Amino acid sequence: MSPLPSVDAVLRLPDMALLVAEHGRSAVVDAVRSVLAMHRENRDKSRPQDAAIEAEVADLLSERAAPALRPVFNLTGTVLHTNLGRALLSEAAVEHAAMAMRQPCALEYDLETVGRGDRDTIIESILCELTGAEAATVVNNNAAAVLLVLAALAARREVVVSRGELVEIGGSFRIPDVMRSAQVKLVEVGTTNRTHARDYASAVGPKTAALMKVHASNYRVTGFTAAVSEAEVAAIAHGHGLPMITDLGAGSLIDMAALGLPKEPLVRDAIADGADVVTFSGDKLMGGPQAGLIVGRKDLIAKIRKHPLKRALRVSKITLAALEATLLAYRKPDLLVRDLPTLRLLSRQPDELRAVANRIQMPLAKALSADWTVSITDVSSQVGSGALPDEAIPSIALSVKPRAKTGKALGLLADRLRGLPKPVIGRIADGALLLDLRCLEDEAGFVAQLEHLA
Ligand SMILES: *Cc1c(COP(=O)(O)O)cnc(C)c1O
């Protein structure tokens, strides 16, 4: 076999100048070296053509330049899918975040007094307006918010929580572990299924720093149960001169039931019921960027803001910009369902989804071979991100089934859909691959890439 060309010889090939213009010289040289090294190892093969080497270098360069974070079609039926990035942001939020990335912005700069400002002021007044709270601050996510609140208000002291609320949220957020990280002693009261007001009252002692309620979002205790309401826990706390903390999780800013959706606690109600500090997520029902919102009493928020962890957990200007634009959308309540993708997707009606199904059923059936049937079926979507799994939202899916029963067929079909240029993620249930259409808005993009399925 004739020797392989040198790196320099490959770099002189006609297509290389274009690659250098696109990737820069050093990346191209690295790729050429990698390709030549690969051929040197495969000694048995004959010398590759120059054109083949060029093509391999080009492929390797595009592979190396491709981001790992890729857009997908979320047809799982779970609208706020944590593994697929939770809330989609409004166009206004995307634009405002882009502004903050492209241009200098008055992040911590008071344009009136020309003094140093606090980045919290960007969102504080609107958060107070939307929740009825006196003050507000924001950190990286709700897990961080709970950690910071506990560390700032209760370190080396005790916090009382019902045994029915010692929850684990997906992704290793567990209330007892967060308490330990904040150096707070957890005092459990009541039992798994029943907790009474007297349980809270008798747990209060000289070391108690606060009473806490955690919204047990992702599971429900049914049967012989008793829980103490927010207002009652607050009254007990206040009777002892203590603050009451509530971790709402998804915490909505509007009444979901008015949109025909499963009821979720409102942040405003928690404040009205007497909670002194409430934490909730920015990228769950609120429909904004990942963030942990903390609203409540002015003196407590001031203490929280002064804690050193606040600086460690603070949000970026990108997050703040997206958050501000999201909150501003709530000043136009009539347009929320149009403007916030999370609420828009959650409130799509089965009729609309059936029309989508009718339009794409044939293109999908054609793109798959005759070995498959594609039918339209009623399914249930979920809110996701800790909302109750049994509070289903009626939806429509395309159900793809193999004509012949073969064990692995569905898994292989799921692989093929995930292998598309923009991967399609469905779910397998009852012997079918279900593509829930609730979150499919780009029908044209979906249909256009079906040719790659063959
Ligand atoms: C989701 C959730 C959290 C965690 O919030 P992140 O924003 O994911 O960090 C904490 N507590 C409750 C009750 C939740 O539902």
| pLDDT one-digit tens code per residue, 37-78 | 999 988 766 788 999 999 999 999 999 999 999 999 999 999
Query: H or E stretch including 109?
Result: strand 109-110
Summarize the confidence of residues 332-346 as an average pLDDT: 97
Question: What separation in Å is there between the alpha carbon of 348 and the centre of ligand 1?
Answer: 25
Residue in the block written with tokens 């429909």: 287
Tokens of 373: 């049937």
Give yes or no for a contact between 251 and 280, defined as CB atoms under 8 angstroms apart.
yes
> pLDDT by residue (tens digit) across 175-185?
999 999 999 99
Summarize the confidence of residues 66-95 as an average pLDDT: 97
Rounded CA separation 160/180 (Å): 13
At position 417, the amino acid (one-letter code) is L
* Closest Cα to atom 6 of ligand 1: 142
Ligand 1-lining residues (CB < 6 angstroms): 141-143, 146, 169, 173, 214-215, 217, 247, 249-250, 281, 292, 386
Beta-ladder partners of 436: 397
Rounded CA separation 425/74 (Å): 5
Compute CA distances 394 → 17, 312, 339, 400, 438, whole Å: 56, 42, 22, 19, 9
CB atoms within 10 A of CB 407: 8
Q: Report the nearest atom of ligand 1 relative to the CA of 282.
A: 7
Give yes or no for a contact between 134 and 125, defined as CB atoms under 8 angstroms apart.
no
* Closest Cα to atom 1 of ligand 1: 249
Rounded CA separation 114/117 (Å): 9
* Closest Cα to atom 7 of ligand 1: 142
> pLDDT by residue (tens digit) across 143-176?
999 999 999 999 999 999 999 999 888 768 899 9
**How long is the chain?**
454
Residue in the block written with tokens 């050093």: 26
Summarize the confidence of residues 271-282 as an average pLDDT: 98
Question: What separation in Å is there between the alpha carbon of 405 and the centre of ligand 1?
Answer: 41
Give yes or no for a contact between 175 and 214, defined as CB atoms under 8 angstroms apart.
yes
Residue in the block written with tokens 């799994």: 389
* Closest Cα to atom 11 of ligand 1: 249
Compute CA distances 84 → 41, 234, 392, 425, whole Å: 39, 36, 19, 10
pTM of the predicted model as reported, rounded to 2 decimal places: 0.94
Summarize the confidence of residues 223-241 as an average pLDDT: 94
Q: Is the pLDDT of residue 108 over 90?
A: yes
> pLDDT by residue (tens digit) across 303-324?
999 999 999 999 999 999 999 9
Q: Is the pLDDT of residue 387 over 80?
A: no
Compute CA distances 430 → 371, 398, 416, 427, whole Å: 18, 13, 19, 10
Q: 3-state DSSP call for residue 55? A: helix
pLDDT of residue 369: 85
pLDDT of residue 391: 77
Domains, the chain, ordered by start: 7-65 (no CATH), 73-81+346-453 (3.90.1150.180), 91-335 (3.40.640.10)
Give yes or no for a contact between 426 and 434, defined as CB atoms under 8 angstroms apart.
yes
Beta-ladder partners of 281: 292
pLDDT of residue 407: 76
Q: Is the pLDDT of residue 204 over 80?
A: yes
Tokens of 398: 């395309």
Rounded CA separation 92/339 (Å): 8
User: Probe ligand 1: pick from 165, 217, 342, 385, max atoms within 8 Å of CB?
Assistant: 217
Angle at 293 between CA 290 and CA 299, to 5 degrees: 155
Of 441, 430, 346, 342, nearest to 393 by C-alpha is 346
Q: 3-state DSSP helix/strand/coil percent for the chain, to nearest 5?
A: 45, 20, 35
Kindly give, in sequence order, each residue whose CB lies less than 8 Å from that of residue 33, ignoring residues fewer than 6 positions away.
7
Summarize the confidence of residues 264-274 as an average pLDDT: 96
> pLDDT by residue (tens digit) across 346-363?
999 999 999 999 999 999
114-121 long-range contacts, CB within 8 A, separation 24+: 118/305, 119/314, 119/315, 119/317, 119/320, 120/305
Tokens of 410: 């569905």
CB atoms within 10 A of CB 365: 17
Pairing, β 115-116 against β 109-110 = antiparallel
Give yes or no for a contact between 288 and 130, defined as CB atoms under 8 angstroms apart.
no
Q: Report the nearest atom of ligand 1 relative to the CA of 144.
A: 9
Give yes or no for a contact between 136 and 295, defined as CB atoms under 8 angstroms apart.
yes
Of 253, 262, 249, 248, nearest to 333 by C-alpha is 253
Q: Is the pLDDT of residue 271 over 80?
A: yes
Rounded CA separation 119/103 (Å): 16
pLDDT-above-70 percentage for the chain: 98
pLDDT-derived band at 406, boundaries 50, 70, 90: confident
> pLDDT by residue (tens digit) across 426-439?
999 989 999 999 99
Compute CA distances 124 → 96, 97, 295, 316, whole Å: 17, 18, 9, 15
Summarize the confidence of residues 115-130 as an average pLDDT: 94
Cβ burial of 427 (10 Å; 0-12, 13-18, 19+) is middle
User: Probe ligand 1: pick from 78, 86, 138, 142, max atoms within 8 Å of CB?
Assistant: 142
